[in-house]
Structure 1
Amino acid sequence: MTAVQPALDGTVPTSRARQRAEDYDTWVQAVRPALIKAAKDGKPFLFWQILRDPALPLAPDPAHDPGRLAATLHRDGITRTAGYGKTPDKSAVQRWRGTVALIEGRVA
């Protein structure tokens, strides 16, 4: 456990670290609207760029959950592939964009 230095007024600062979601379903409910908003824009995007938003919780299993959600959104007709992009460590990942049906409002 790490020690937290109180401020001079005696208050203890709160942690600004992002919290990890308790389970996959809770995490999906929190991050899905942000991903759908990015897809509705029609421009290509990378999941990791959207999911790094500090307002969004971390995935319970960060190595597998984003890919699982990407596959689900693709299967549901919300996203389609749009080439490849890179992660911060230079790994190749799928680039996505919203489907015509999503942009026209036929799926959500």
Structure 2
Amino acid sequence: MRHNKLKKINKNSKHKKLMFENMIYSIIINKYISTTISKYKILKKIFDKKIKKIKRNKNFFISFFKGRNINFTYFLKKISKKRSGFLKVKKIKQRKGDFSRIIYLKL
């Protein structure tokens, strides 16, 4: 069975977990990020789960960011109206080396 498995992106599990947590931090702090489509598909699921957990438990937000300077009220105002689909996606370009599609994610 494939419960709680992520798609393969040629990284070990610890690296994947840290990479996606860093991407979530970057999206919330900077309000945008650019990444490939394959990473976005995995990130979307993880991001929606984290946001739903934050909406249920406000203390999780504080523990999740470990004292980083985040505007909590702005962030809650952005996510309070939606149930899912917190990220806006815009396809930008293709990367020169391997022609993979690069997309722009915005909170």
Q: TM-score, normalised by structure 1?
A: 0.39
Higher helix content, 1 or 2: 2
- Which structure has more relative contact order (CA 8 Å, sep 6+)? It is 2
